[in-house]
């Protein structure tokens, strides 16, 4: 199956970046969100945001003509039918809620042509459960991009219980066309490897600090200079946002009932006290782990 047109559902942080990536690699993209204001803000970000096309041109990684051609391939709409009724491939990037994703997938199943593959960018929710909201579970797959999409090449492709070989092959080909490095994993309802690994490291790092064994900065120095991680765990958590990380873990706890997913007490307390993350990124935040411990980021 050849993909010509891609529909992206949800034009927030991830939807914008995925739209831009697809357009940059020659696909026609229609992005759908629920308000004109969000669509306008998203297009501005694609053009002139931190990871936007203008910056890419300034860095000499793309010509102005290529950037303009990419922009000309993007359309935005609030009309789900318009976005999807002739799409070959749909990438959903609405907020991380199983109920919402099931509702969106049931709608997509009604609107999209029979051949259309429905992918979710979920970072944690079971693809098999999302697929069960449709009459085409064999055509449903997880395409887990990482943020910022322009920089992070990994694409974790998540195969649901009923995802067909053809859907997987088409998705792998698309991923390669988008310049991604892929890891194919199974959805067992226990969390994808990317989140299990990052969770294990984050929780151990927080426990070390809770025990008073080391400060956030010293833990980050160990990871960066002993293990060559580009960012320390606390720098990463402060940047991603404490609330956002904890929300994903709590969702995993609800889904699996496994107590390993419980948010460590120190992190819960910080969130309650208004420490949402790096204040440069999280407006109204008192800071992240670094601010609470009175430390400066980066050495
Ligand atoms: N932010 C990240 O770092 C990251 C990384 C990887 C994966 N993800 C996953 O990507 C998905 C989206 O996350 P995000 O950070 O972009 O969220 P976000 O809140 O920034 O964007 C979600 C967008 O979806 C829109 N939306 C809500 N209901 C909709 C509907 N019915 N139809 C169309 N649009 C609708 C919202 O208006 C919003 O603009 C989530 O599943 C998340 O887990 C996020």
Say yes or no: CB of residue 277 within 6 Å of ligand 1.
Answer: no
Residue 289 reports pLDDT greater than 70: yes
Percent of the chain topping pLDDT 90 = 94
Cα separation, 134 vs 130, in Å, equals 8
DSSP track, 84-122: HTT-SEEEE---S-HHHHHHHHHHHHHHS-TT-EEEE--
Contact yes or no for 239/278 (Cβ under 8 A): yes
Model-wide pTM > 0.85: yes
The CATH superfamily of 5-186 is: NAD(P)-binding Rossmann-like Domain (3.40.50.720)
Domain extents for the chain?
5-186, 193-291
Fold of 193-291: 1.10.1040
Contact yes or no for 140/159 (Cβ under 8 A): no
Indicate the top mutation candidate among 11, 14, 31 to test ligand 1's pocket, ranked by most ligand atoms within 8 A of CB. 14
Contact yes or no for 199/267 (Cβ under 8 A): no
Cα separation, 27 vs 179, in Å, equals 13
The three-state secondary structure class of 30 is strand
- Which of 148, 145, 154, 144 minimizes the C-alpha distance to 55? 148
pLDDT at residue 298, rounded to an integer: 81
> 215 CA distance to ligand 1 centroid (A)?
33
Per-residue pLDDT of 124-179, as tens digits, reads 899 999 999 999 999 999 999 998 999 999 999 999 999 999 999 999 999 999 99
pLDDT at residue 181, rounded to an integer: 98
Phi/psi for 130 (5° steps) reads -65, -45
Residue 1 reports pLDDT greater than 90: no
pLDDT at residue 175, rounded to an integer: 98
């Amino acid at each position: 199956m050849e993909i010509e047109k891609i529909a992206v559902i949800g034009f927030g942080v991830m939807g914008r970046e995925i739209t831009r990536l697809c357009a940059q690699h020659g696909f026609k993209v229609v992005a759908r969100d629920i308000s004109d204001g969000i669509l306008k803000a998203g297009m501005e970000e694609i053009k002139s945001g931190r990871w936007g096309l203008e910056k890419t041109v300034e860095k000499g990684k793309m010509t102005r003509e290529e950037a303009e051609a990419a922009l000309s391939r993007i359309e935005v709409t609030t009309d789900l039918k318009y976005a999807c009724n002739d799409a070959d491939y749909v990438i959903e990037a609405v907020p991380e809620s199983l109920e919402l994703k099931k509702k969106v997938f049931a709608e997509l199943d009604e609107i999209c042509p029979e051949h259309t593959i429905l992918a979710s960018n979920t970072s944690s929710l079971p693809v098999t459960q999302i697929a069960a909201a449709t009459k085409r579970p064999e055509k449903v797959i997880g395409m887990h991009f990482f943020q910022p999409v322009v920089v992070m090449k990994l694409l974790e492709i998540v195969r649901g219980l009923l995802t067909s070989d053809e859907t997987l092959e088409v998705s792998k080909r698309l991923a390669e066309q988008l310049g991604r490095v892929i890891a194919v994993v199974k959805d067992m309802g226990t969390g994808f490897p990317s989140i299990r690994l990052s969770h294990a490291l984050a929780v151990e790092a927080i426990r070390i600090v809770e025990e008073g064994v080391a400060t956030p900065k010293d833990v980050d120095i160990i990871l960066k200079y002993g293990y060559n991680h580009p960012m320390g765990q606390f720098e990463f958590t402060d940047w991603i946002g404490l609330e956002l990380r904890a929300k994903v873990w709590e969702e995993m706890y609800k889904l699996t009932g496994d107590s390993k997913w419980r948010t460590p007490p120190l992190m819960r307390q910080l969130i309650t006290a208004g420490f949402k993350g790096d204040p440069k990124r999280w407006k109204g935040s008192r800071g992240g782990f670094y601010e609470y411990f009175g430390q400066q980021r980066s050495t």
